[in-house]
């Protein structure tokens, strides 16, 4: 089994998710070729998922593949863009075709759910890691950044938080079908592309909740130069999670946003004012979200 | 030193190469936003460079950064596209700001040389590896793939081969300024964007010489369903390299192409006919190029 056979196996598994519609050239050439609509902008992001850090290495490969694509696409969702395509760079200690096929199946599941193509990739020998470059389109000028929050805006989230963090906190990593709800939240997140139209209409700034709600709001606070106050009681908490999980745990991939009114389907949790920092029930939040290189 | 400080340091080093012109939103948000010209297609590729496999870990970081971007951009050059932007996912065993700054300086050098932006990235803890997602634009339908070679075409290369392979073969990895010519070929390759107009005018298929000339021609042969014959005598060999280096060594990043006539600046080395396989002086080539998972 060599690299080229591995590529063939993965492309076979990807089936119609490897190319079509706006993909003029898919996997197997030097690069993919993507048709771009006139008047639109691309939204592009790259993420890494390292075994033992971002996912348990012994989790089912199909779940790992699904999650890798979804969490990377979530950055595109956070800009309120329409997802289009992903590229995947995979490093593996040994070529393992059946594992790669399962991984690709999960990626196909996620690609179908998000209506994107996985139109290029790369294999290398190395520690188990998945690097995903995710790309979307949006009408020129409509992308939601972290820097648009204004004093007077409300703060909103798109759904319950903490479920994924509860899974991580309890090291609940023995995955058997059907997954328990908190396991499902961790391994099968849904990038919130469904709320993109509402975000484009009503939000001033947005971010996906990947590092933890407080940490991610701190990104908005810093980028926008504003103070963000939230009320802990108003934060929607997953039934299997604690408030601590919901405030400080990551991996939920819901969307947090600011704006003059609640986008449809969002819950109000606080407000924006002049100043700086994130404040929870009046107490200043000090960074606790996940940081790869913190002590 | 934490992840966010590392990002700040790298963005500072990148300077005007982190955004501008057609980059509507650069590093620091969930994703980058790229303006796309009407009537154009994107060309997108992802590559990994693993320490100890694709580059010597103790080489100067600035050279590593330069090379990482250039070899990834070379896939865009191989499609005859105009390079636009790259995203970089970096894994590091420990945060080392001065090393990262040197790496970013090299990436800035390459970004300036290729006139692209490095408009997004990601840091994670892991073995030293650089994953680069490279993107270019081209007029719709003009991308050169591996699959367009026709019987009757000639086979051409854009320059001397084997210099980089000579460096690798001799393990000539003690880099002191000024670099020796074969070291320069290995650490400072030039993605051949300069020949893109000539390729678009005259070539039927193209590939960058990264795995080795014979291996890369085998990709064209397979994708196009044709036989490729080359004459060893006609292959331009780097002065410090052997014919073996030029035929089977990779890492040169010149362009090999097929077509009815030589694109300007290309040298004829063979011809295309009906059939299959790559033949050198009448002997069939068996795969010898670099393969990550070969025995």
Which CATH number characterizes residue A182's domain? 3.90.650.10
Any domain includes A295: no
Q: A131, B89: Cβ pair inside 8 Å?
A: yes
Sort out which chain B residues have CB atoms less than 8 A from A206's CB and list them. 30
Any domain includes A292: no
What residue in B sits closest to A88 (Cα-Cα)? B46
Among the ranges A26-35, B125-134, B136-145, which has the highest mean pLDDT value?
Answer: B125-134
pTM here is 0.90
Res B290 pLDDT > 60:
no
B28 contacts chain A (CB < 8 A): yes
Q: How confident is the model at residue B1 (pLDDT cuts 50, 70, 90)?
A: very low
Tokens of A291: 């940081």
What residue in A sits closest to B52 (Cα-Cα)? A126
Q: B50, A81: Cβ pair inside 8 Å?
A: no
Instruction: Please say which residue of B109, B139, B169 terminates a domain.
Output: B139
Is A103 in the same domain as A219? Answer: no
Q: How far is B213 from chain A (nearest CA, A)?
A: 15
Sort out which chain B residues have CB atoms less than 8 A from A35's CB and list them. 41-42, 140
Angstrom CA distances, B31 to A68, A135, B168, B226, stand at 16, 9, 37, 42
CA B170 to chain centre: 22
Sort out which chain A residues have CB atoms less than 8 A from B206's CB and list them. 30
Any domain includes A251: yes
Q: A42, B50: Cβ pair inside 8 Å?
A: no
Res A292 pLDDT > 60:
no
Which of residues A213 and B30 earns the better pLDDT score? A213
Q: Give me the interface pTM, i.e. the ipTM.
A: 0.89
Any domain includes A105: yes
Q: Where are the beta strands (DSSP E) in chain A?
A: 23-25, 32-35, 40-50, 82-92, 117-125, 129-139, 154-157, 205-208, 227-230, 255-259, 267-273, 278-280, 283-284
Longest alpha-carbon distance in chain A: 60
Q: How much is the average pLDDT of B246-271?
A: 96
Q: How confident is the model at residue A290 (pLDDT cuts 50, 70, 90)?
A: low
Q: Which of residues 214-273 of B touch A (CB under 8 A)?
A: 223
Is A70 in the same domain as A173? Answer: no
Is B115 in the same domain as B31? Answer: yes
Is B132 in the same domain as B179? Answer: no
Q: Which of residues 105-134 of B touch A (CB under 8 A)?
A: 119-127, 129, 131, 133-134
Res A269 pLDDT > 90:
yes
Which of residues A37 and B216 earns the better pLDDT score? B216
Q: How far is B136 from chain A (nearest CA, A)?
A: 9
Contact B49, B89 (CB under 8 A): no
Is A7 in the same domain as A112? Answer: yes
Angstrom CA distances, A95 to A98, A113, B226, B288, B294, stand at 9, 28, 30, 19, 9
* Residue A190 backbone phi and psi in degrees, to 5: -115, 115
Q: How much is the average pLDDT of B225-238?
A: 97
Residue B116 CA to residue B214 CA, distance in Å, equals 30
Q: Which of A42-56, B23-37, B152-166 has the lowest mean pLDDT?
A: B23-37
Contact B257, B199 (CB under 8 A): yes
Sort out which chain A residues have CB atoms less than 8 A from B255's CB and list them. none
Q: How far is A28 from chain B (nearest CA, A)?
A: 9
Domain of residue A94 covers: 3-139
Q: Which of residues 37-66 of B touch A (CB under 8 A)?
A: 37-48, 50, 53-54
Is B109 in the same domain as B163? Answer: no
Which of residues B251 and A12 earns the better pLDDT score? B251
Q: For B41-94, how does the pLDDT look when each residue is reduced to its tens digit (9 = 90+)?
A: 889 999 999 999 999 999 999 999 999 999 999 999 999 999 989 999 999 998
In a 10 Å sphere around its CB, with 0-12 CB exposed, 13-18 middle and 19+ buried, how is residue A126 labelled? buried
Is B61 in the same domain as B37? Answer: yes
The pLDDT of residue B58: 92
Q: How confident is the model at residue A1 (pLDDT cuts 50, 70, 90)?
A: very low
Is A195 in the same domain as A223? Answer: yes
The pLDDT of residue B22: 72
% of chain B residues with pLDDT over 70: 95
Q: How far is B184 from chain A (nearest CA, A)?
A: 24
Any domain includes B149: no
Is A121 in the same domain as A241? Answer: no
Q: How much is the average pLDDT of A73-92?
A: 92
Instruction: Please say which residue of B108, B139, B170 terminates a domain.
Output: B139
Q: How much is the average pLDDT of A259-274?
A: 98
Q: Which of residues 154-213 of B touch A (CB under 8 A)?
A: 206-208
Longest alpha-carbon distance in chain B: 60
Q: B81, A31: Cβ pair inside 8 Å?
A: yes
The pLDDT of residue B24: 74
Q: How confident is the model at residue A159 (pLDDT cuts 50, 70, 90)?
A: very high
Sort out which chain A residues have CB atoms less than 8 A from B33's CB and list them. 41-44, 79, 138, 143
Q: How far is B281 from chain A (nearest CA, A)?
A: 26
Among partner residues B78, B91, B145, which is closest to A129 by beta-carbon distance? B91
Which of residues A32 and B180 earns the better pLDDT score? B180
Which of residues A41 and A239 earns the better pLDDT score? A239
Q: How confident is the model at residue A242 (pLDDT cuts 50, 70, 90)?
A: very high
B93 contacts chain A (CB < 8 A): no
Res B295 pLDDT > 50:
no
A274 contacts chain B (CB < 8 A): no
Residue B127 CA to residue B276 CA, distance in Å, equals 40
Q: How confident is the model at residue A194 (pLDDT cuts 50, 70, 90)?
A: very high
Any domain includes A159: yes
Query: What does the mean pLDDT of chain B come to?
Result: 89
Q: B45, A39: Cβ pair inside 8 Å?
A: no
The pLDDT of residue B195: 96
The pLDDT of residue A69: 93
Q: A24, B140: Cβ pair inside 8 Å?
A: yes
Which of residues B290 and B255 earns the better pLDDT score? B255
Please, what is the Cα angle at B287 between B283 and B290, to 5 degrees? 140
Q: How much is the average pLDDT of B211-219?
A: 94
Q: A33, B42: Cβ pair inside 8 Å?
A: yes
Is A58 in the same domain as A89? Answer: yes
Q: How much is the average pLDDT of B160-182?
A: 90
Is A128 in the same domain as A158? Answer: no
Instruction: Please say which residue of B75, B105, B139 terminates a domain.
Output: B139
Is A57 in the same domain as A165? Answer: no
Query: What does the mean pLDDT of chain A come to?
Result: 89
Q: B31, A78: Cβ pair inside 8 Å?
A: yes
What residue in A sits closest to B293 (Cα-Cα)? A2
Any domain includes A145: no
The pLDDT of residue B31: 74
A18 contacts chain B (CB < 8 A): no
Q: For A16-55, how does the pLDDT look when each residue is reduced to its tens digit (9 = 90+)?
A: 777 777 777 777 677 777 777 777 788 999 999 999 999 9
Q: For A54-71, how does the pLDDT look when each residue is reduced to its tens digit (9 = 90+)?
A: 999 999 999 999 999 999
> How many structural domains comprise chain A?
2
Residue B48 CA to residue A118 CA, distance in Å, equals 17
Any domain includes A293: no
């Amino acid at each position: 089994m060599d690299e080229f056979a591995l590529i063939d196996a993965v492309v076979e598994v990807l089936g119609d998710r490897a190319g079509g519609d706006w993909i003029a050239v898919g996997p197997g050439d030097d690069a993919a070729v993507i048709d771009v609509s006139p008047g639109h902008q691309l939204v592009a992001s790259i993420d890494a998922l390292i075994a033992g850090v971002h996912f348990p290495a012994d989790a089912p490969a199909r779940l790992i593949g699904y999650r890798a694509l979804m969490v990377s696409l979530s950055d595109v969702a956070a800009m309120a863009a329409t997802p289009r395509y992903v590229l995947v760079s995979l490093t593996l200690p040994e070529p393992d075709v059946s594992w790669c096929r399962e991984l690709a199946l999960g990626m196909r599941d996620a690609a179908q759910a998000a209506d994107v193509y996985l139109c290029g990739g790369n294999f290398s020998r190395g520690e188990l890691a998945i690097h995903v470059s995710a790309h979307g389109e949006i009408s020129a000028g409509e992308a939601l950044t972290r820097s648009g929050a204004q004093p007077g805006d409300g703060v909103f989230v798109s759904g319950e938080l903490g479920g994924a963090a509860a899974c991580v906190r309890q090291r609940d990593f023995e995955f058997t079908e059907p997954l328990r709800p908190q396991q499902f939240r961790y391994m099968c997140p849904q990038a919130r592309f469904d709320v993109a139209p509402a975000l484009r209409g009503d939000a001033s700034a947005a971010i996906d909740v990947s590092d933890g709600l407080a940490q991610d709001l701190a990104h908005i606070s810093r980028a926008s130069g504003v103070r963000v106050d939230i009320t802990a009681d108003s934060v929607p908490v997953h039934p299997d999670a604690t408030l601590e999980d919901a405030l400080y745990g990551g991996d939920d991939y819901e969307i947090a946003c600011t704006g003059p009114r609640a986008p449809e389907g969002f819950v109000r949790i606080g407000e924006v004012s002049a100043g700086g920092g994130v404040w929870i029930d009046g107490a200043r939040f000090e960074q606790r979200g996940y940081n790869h290189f913190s002590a």
